[in-house]
Amino acid sequence: MAESTPYSMTLSLNVLNHLGINLYSNMPAVLAEVVANSWDADAELVSITIDKKEKRIVISDDGQGMTKYDINLKYLTVGYQRREVPEEATTPKWKRPVMGRKGIGKLSLFSIARNIEIHTVKDGQKSGFRMVLGDIEAKIKNKEGTYHPEPIDSSAFDLERGTRIILTDLKKELHQTETALRKRLARRFSIIGSGFHFSIQINGKAITIEDRDYYHKIQYLWWYAKESERYKSFCKNLNMDIPRPNILLPTDYSISGWIGTVKDSGDLKDPDDNLNKIVIMVRGKLAQEDILEDFAEGGMYTKYLIGEVHANFLDIDGEADIATSSRQKIIEDDARYEELKKFIYKELKNIQSSWTDLRNKEGKDKALEIPAIKEWFQTLPPGSKKRAESIFGKINQLTLESEDDRKRLFKHGVLAFESLKYKQNLDALDQISTESLAESLDALADIFGNLDDIEATLYHQIIKERVAVIRTLQEKVKDNALEKVVQKFLFDHLWLLDPSWERATETPVMEEQVSKLFKEIEADLKEEEKKSRLDIKYRKTSGQHVVIELKRPERVVSTAELLAQVDKYRRGIQKLLKAAGRSNESVAFVCVVGKELSDWTDEKAREESAKILEQKNARVVMYPELIDDAYQTYKLFLDKKKEAGRIFELIQSIEGELQ
């Protein structure tokens, strides 16, 4: 007889904390473990009833049920490995490969409930017991090794076969909607639907494949293995499907399932779940939440991906169990998982290339629905067509609020394409030698003529957008709020005052000196003059120094008063410019007023005032007239600027079709 060892290993009930009580984080994952047990019990129907009023969940199935012997040997034995018994590795009636393996899934119930009651019937024998989390925790605290569930009277059970689990004293509020729970469970199992003899109901309504609520979003589908071709019929808005090889090389493992892309990346936003992922299913149940996160893929196409890959070789009887304790993830350094990752990566690169080509073609087709773009496209040489198709494809990949926005981007894509094309022509100028210059004059004339056309078209676009902005201001801004709008935008959008004045240039040193000058001059102003001013700013634009003074809308001033103030600022700024050696630079003044000047007694007096101010390079603009004058100025430009360059005509034609 062997000598007794001084060492021994014992297991504490505390291990339950790590194996199940605190292992699962959400209700769908817990209920999925119960459903998996029902599948393994040869059940055909699993019924889940959620009673929010009573705060109770009941899960019933019509499976084999359990005897007292089964309860103690299998259900209450934590870690019981059914697959170690050959005749139990598949179910007796439907010959299903069982999902359970670790023997700890039933512990997940404690993640959501403190009281668990089990009713079960097998071969007419009824059994029942209750497990209370508080009692188990007391045993753990007292370091006791055995927990005895409380037997309950089974004579009143109305269950004829199978098992019923009643969850009460729930840890989590039943805030999740029935629709959301149905959706989440549908996405965790691939064994629902016809052909599996298995149905899951929530509150009396069966879960269907449609409850996954994503097949209708799929635009392109790549499917693996003949049995996966059926997924095409679920995708009601499918543009194209592509069958793919399903053998992982160099091994002989096979997969099934599918990977798809949606039309818009926004389609993958779901309030109840993240759809931008590729799940791994094993034996019909979710085994890996998202294998996509294992790849450092940053291409645009990844934002459109969704998939469900079935890899049963990850769970083969007789080989190592590579599922984590929560059964929601695979141990990543296993050789089988590494093989799967290699296969998926290869498929992702194939999908990236195919998806780009498909979206480019789709983008081209959408763009060519606009007759003017179609006519333009047909004039391009083959190489240019390919590049234009790429531009349309990239526009097609964008998620936009409306198809009208996409069409407008197609218009700008044409303009950008032409701009790039003529840049290439300019680059070609470097290849022209002085000896051949005379022979190249016609080519040069074409290049520069086209560049003029591009420039005119771009400027026309800018002017048109400005007119739209001004018109919107005209329509939406009330007169009594006009000065607030002017004060907010005028200093930084000088084009409202003069089309030749673009964005102000950065002149920090000069601005600092002028700001100091303003303060000095303001100190000498009379109190009435100070009260009449709303704001004053200095800007430099288009090579000109500009001073803009906003008068308070209710104040009335005269031409003489304005001239006196203008002279003070002019002398000060000219002094600064002279000190900087730039005394030849021009200084302009704009006074924005709310009321007519006191000496504008009639139209003739107003004209005389304007002439006097013009001599000092100054002018007066009234708040109510400012926006209207800007609109008329730009509108006049649009009406007169009608030279018909090729690109100008093309853009005009496209715009006409978009209206």
**pLDDT per position as a tens digit, 198-239:** 999 999 999 999 999 999 999 999 999 999 999 999 999 999
Please tell me the predicted confidence (pLDDT) of residue 373: 87
**Could you please report the per-residue DSSP string of 308-335?**
EEE-GGGS-TTS---B-TTSSSB-TTSH
User: CA angle at residue 456 from 455 to 462, to 5 degrees?
Assistant: 90
Q: 56-61 and 162-170: which strand pairing?
A: antiparallel
Q: Give every residue of the chain whose pLDDT is below 50, as ranges.
A: 1, 426, 428-430, 432-438, 440-441, 444-445, 447-449
Which of 196, 163, 201 minimizes the C-alpha distance to 64?
163
Q: How far apart, in whole angstroms, are the C-alpha atoms of residue 554 and residue 480? A: 11
* 118 three-class SS: strand
Distance CA 406, CA 365 (A): 13
Preceding peptide of 86 cis, ω within 30°: no
Alpha-carbon dihedral sign for residues 20, 26, 31, 37: negative
Which amino acid does the sequence have at 114?
R
CA dihedral 433, 437, 441, 442 (to 10 degrees): -60
pLDDT at 103: 67
Residue keyed to tokens 């100070």:
530
- Does domain 15-209 correspond to CATH entry 3.30.565.10? yes
One-letter identity of residue 38: S
pLDDT at 447: 46
Angle between helices 603-615 and 559-579 (to 10 degrees): 10
So what's the pLDDT on residue 20? 56
The pLDDT value recorded for residue 558 is 93
Amino acid code (one letter) for 171: K
- Please give the pLDDT value at position 496: 78
Q: Omega of the bond prior to 250 within 30 degrees of 0, cis?
A: yes
Q: What angle do CA 601, 602, 603 make, to 5 degrees?
A: 140
* Secondary structure of 63-81 as H, E, C letters: CCCCCHHHHHHHHCCCCCC
Integer Cα distance of 137 and 133 in angstroms: 6
Query: CB atoms < 10 A from the CB of 488, how many?
Result: 10
Residue 587 CA to chain centroid, in angstroms? 50
pLDDT at 444: 45
Q: Find residue 150's DSSP bridge partners.
A: 130
Q: What is the CA radius of gyration of the chain?
A: 39
- Cα separation, 85 vs 63, in Å, equals 19
- The pLDDT of residue 302: 92
φ and ψ of 156, to 5 deg: -90, 5
Helix (H) or strand (E) holding 287: strand 285-288
Residue 224, pLDDT score: 96
Write b or e for each residue in 300-339: b if 16 or more Cβ atoms lie within 10 A of its Cβ, otherwise e.
ebbbbbbbbbbbbbbbeeeeeebbeebbbbbeeebebbeb
What's the N-to-C CA distance of the chain in angstroms?
Answer: 98
* 281, 258 Cβ separation under 8 angstroms: no
Q: Domain segments of the chain: what residues?
A: 15-209, 214-346, 478-625
- Determine contact, residues 284/189, Cβ cutoff 8 Å: yes
What is the per-residue pLDDT for 334?
A: 86
Region class of 490: left (phi > 0), else alpha (psi between -120 and 50), else beta: alpha
